[in-house]
């Protein structure tokens, strides 16, 4: 059978664009791609990139305060949200143009329409229909709105970057990394911020000591955290948005952000007509090679709900190309995925938590808390936290965790060692760089405890 395309990609985010580009330029495939919204996807347009720029913006409030302790005379007239927002959207427009240019230069034929599968090898794009030998779904995810009366009055993470003005107060519902990052950002921009979470501690899934330390430091920096509490209703009042909590108490805020997670963007894609199985949360079920229950349809990225990180989607795209177009079946190892949470302070982590590692056998735990030189000189009470989780029997480092300034930068380098299977002896014989925060990573000689 002759097909219109060797590969048709549904979704123009990081994973879909990478797969389309590599297929077209490196294996010579004829490729089509459809994107109904903006090219670049969640990460570039409404996620990682604008969020990180907001992190930078929010951190300047601390830097301005600290600069006085270092002898600078600073005039501080506050934060201009409108100025920042204009420049932010110019940058997002520039990045989207880059993504479009990359696809165009690669020879990928693009369609600015929603695509829907009609069968295993056919997609409908707008009013046109195309056939493809292989279809790749890379449609990402979307914010989840909890079932709370009045939730339509709340923002979701996609809305944050489009606010007309900065609110004076904001309640954030949720305790995951998006909620915690947004709480730190808003607090840094001068917004009175309260985080309301139904669990007993924020950042579920991270190491317990990390969670406890981050929560304490966030509170120290001005974020109010309300745990073991649900929001039961949101009402519009003259005073703003009134939240009713599960303890019966009511509070008013200018804005409410619902940051209770994301859900796979798999609705209305024609999956039923292609006999593609989906899971309980709407995720496309795939095997270890990203193949769906339909042999000619694959899926990568957040729509599969495996590990919802941009670098993972990109690596899954590369593995997909190796498997399908290079006859070299390739799969990802999801065990050692470095990740960062851009709270204030930042979290950087790679490998296992202590709770996960304890299932493997006896452990040695190395940890430290200290005040960094910069924070100490500035008169702050902030504490850095570092932790190594080591397997007793072979001294292999199973997990490395940071809570500190630039923790995301630190953990990227530590991830190389952990992924290679470094032992505690490898860390011990590494020369420290002094004076730095990271030198503590290689100077923790004695375990704080054994489990």
Would you state the structure tokens that stand for residue 171, as one six-digit string?
């309640």
How far apart are alpha carbons 142 and 158 in whole angstroms? Answer: 8
Question: Residue 24: its pLDDT value, please?
Answer: 98
Structure tokens at 282: 């709407």
Give residue for tokens 């920042």. 84
Q: Which residues contact 105 (CB under 8 A, 6 or more apart)?
A: none
Whether residue 335 has pLDDT greater than 90: no
Residue 77's pLDDT band, with cuts at 50, 70 and 90, is: confident
pLDDT attached to residue 273: 86
pLDDT band, residue 75 (cuts 50/70/90)? confident
Name, in order, each residue with C-beta under 8 angstroms of 292's C-beta and a sequence gap of 6 or more. 137, 276, 277, 284, 285, 286, 298, 299
Q: What is the pLDDT of residues 160-183, one digit of tens each?
A: 999 999 999 999 999 999 999 999
| Distance (Å, whole) CA 64 – CA 98 | 34
315: which 2 tokens? 């690596």
Cis peptide before 435 (omega within 30 of 0): yes
CATH number of 5-143+263-325: 3.50.50.60
d(CA 49, CA 92) in angstroms, rounded, equals 8
* 339-450 CATH fold: Enolase-like; domain 1 (3.30.390)
Query: How is residue 145 written in tokens?
Result: 């709105």
Residue span(s) of the chain under CATH 3.50.50.60 come to: 5-143+263-325, 151-260
On the CB side of 399, CA atoms within 13 Å amount to 27
434 belongs to the catalytic site: yes
> CA Rg, the chain, in Å?
24
The pLDDT value recorded for residue 76 is 83
What integer pLDDT is reported at residue 197 of this predicted model?
98
Task: Write down the catalytic residue from 76, 113, 401, 434.
Answer: 434
Mean pLDDT of 48-76: 95
pTM score, whole prediction:
0.95
Is 301's pLDDT higher than 90? yes
Q: Is the pLDDT of residue 279 over 90?
A: yes
Average pLDDT, the chain: 96
The pLDDT confidence band at residue 337, using thresholds 50, 70 and 90, is: very high
- Residue pointed to by tokens 């409908």: 124
Distance CA 303, CA 10 (A): 11
- Of 366, 428, 368, 444, give the one whose Cα is nearest residue 398: 366
pLDDT tens profile 101-123: 999 999 999 999 999 999 999 99
Predicted pLDDT of residue 212? 98
- Domain 151-260 fold: FAD/NAD(P)-binding domain (3.50.50)
Tens digit of each residue's pLDDT (9 = 90 or more) over 192-229 = 999 999 999 999 999 999 999 999 999 999 999 999 99
Given a cut of 90, whether residue 93 has pLDDT beyond it is yes
Q: Where in the chain is the domain with CATH 3.30.390.30?
A: 339-450
Per-residue pLDDT tens for 126-148?
A: 999 999 999 999 999 999 999 99
Q: How many CB atoms lie within 10 A of CB 278?
A: 21
In degrees and rounded to multiples of 5, residue 217 shows phi and psi of -70, -35
| Alpha-carbon 438 to chain mean position | 23
The whole-angstrom separation of Cα 382 and Cα 222 is 12
Give the Å distances, CA to CA, from 183 to 178, 292, 381. 8, 37, 20
348-404 confidence digits (pLDDT tens): 999 999 999 999 999 999 999 999 999 999 999 999 999 999 999 999 999 999 999
% of the chain surpassing 70 pLDDT:
100
Q: Is 253 exposed, middle or buried (0-12, 13-18, 19+ CB in 10 A)?
A: buried
Q: Residue 27 is encoded by which pair of tokens?
A: 């294996």
What tokens appear for 231 in the block?
């929001």
- Phi first, then psi, for residue 11 (nearest 5°) are 120, 125
* Extended beta strands in 35-162, E state: 109-111, 115-119, 122-125, 128-137, 141-143
- Tell how strand 169-173 and strand 250-253 pair up: unpaired
Looking at residue 218, what is its pLDDT?
98
């Amino acid at each position: 059978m002759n097909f219109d395309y060797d590969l048709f990609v549904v979704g123009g985010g990081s994973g879909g664009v990478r797969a389309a580009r590599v297929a077209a330029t490196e294996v010579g495939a004829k490729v089509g791609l459809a994107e109904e919204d903006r090219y670049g996807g969640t990460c570039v347009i409404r996620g990682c990139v604008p969020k990180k720029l907001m992190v930078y913006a929010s951190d300047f409030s601390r830097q301005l305060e600290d600069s006085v302790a270092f002898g600078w005379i600073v005039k501080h007239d506050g934060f201009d949200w409108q100025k920042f927002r204009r420049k932010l959207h110019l940058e997002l427009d520039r990045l989207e143009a880059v993504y479009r240019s990359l696809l165009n230069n690669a020879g990928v034929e693009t369609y600015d329409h929603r695509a829907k599968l009609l069968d295993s090898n056919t997609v409908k794009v707008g009013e046109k229909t195309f056939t493809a030998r292989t279809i790749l779904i890379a449609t990402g995810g979307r914010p989840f709105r909890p079932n709370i009366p009045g939730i339509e009055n709340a923002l979701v993470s996609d809305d944050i970057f489009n606010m007309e003005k900065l609110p004076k107060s904001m309640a954030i519902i949720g305790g995951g990394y998006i909620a915690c990052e947004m709480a730190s950002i808003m607090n840094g921009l001068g917004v009175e911020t309260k985080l309301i979470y139904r669990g007993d501690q924020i950042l579920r899934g991270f190491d317990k000591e990390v969670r406890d330390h981050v929560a304490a430091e966030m509170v120290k920096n001005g974020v109010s955290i309300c745990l073991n509490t649900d929001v039961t209703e949101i009402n519009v009042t003259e005073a703003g948005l009134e939240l009713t909590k599960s303890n019966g108490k009511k509070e008013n805020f200018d804005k409410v952000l619902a940051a209770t997670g994301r859900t796979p963007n798999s609705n209305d894609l024609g999956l039923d007509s292609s006999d593609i199985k989906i899971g309980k949360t709407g995720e496309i079920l795939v095997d270890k090679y990203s193949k769906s229950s339909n042999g000619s349809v694959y899926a990568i990225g957040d729509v599969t709900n495996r590990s919802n990180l941009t670098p993972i989607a990109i690596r899954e795209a590369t593995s997909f190309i190796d498997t399908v177009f290079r006859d070299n079946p390739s799969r990802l190892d999801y065990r050692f995925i470095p990740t960062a949470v851009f709270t204030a302070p930042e979290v950087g982590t790679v490998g296992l938590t202590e709770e996960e590692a304890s299932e493997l056998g006896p452990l040695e735990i190395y940890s430290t808390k200290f005040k960094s030189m910069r924070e100490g000189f500035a008169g702050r009470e902030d504490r850095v936290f570092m932790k190594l989780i080591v397997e007793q029997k072979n001294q292999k480092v199973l997990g490395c965790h940071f809570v500190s300034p630039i923790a995301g930068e630190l953990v990227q380098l530590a991830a190389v060692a952990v992924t290679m299977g470094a032992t505690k002896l490898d860390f011990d014989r590494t020369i420290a760089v002094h004076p730095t925060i990271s030198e503590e990573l290689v100077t923790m000689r004695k375990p704080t405890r054994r489990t």
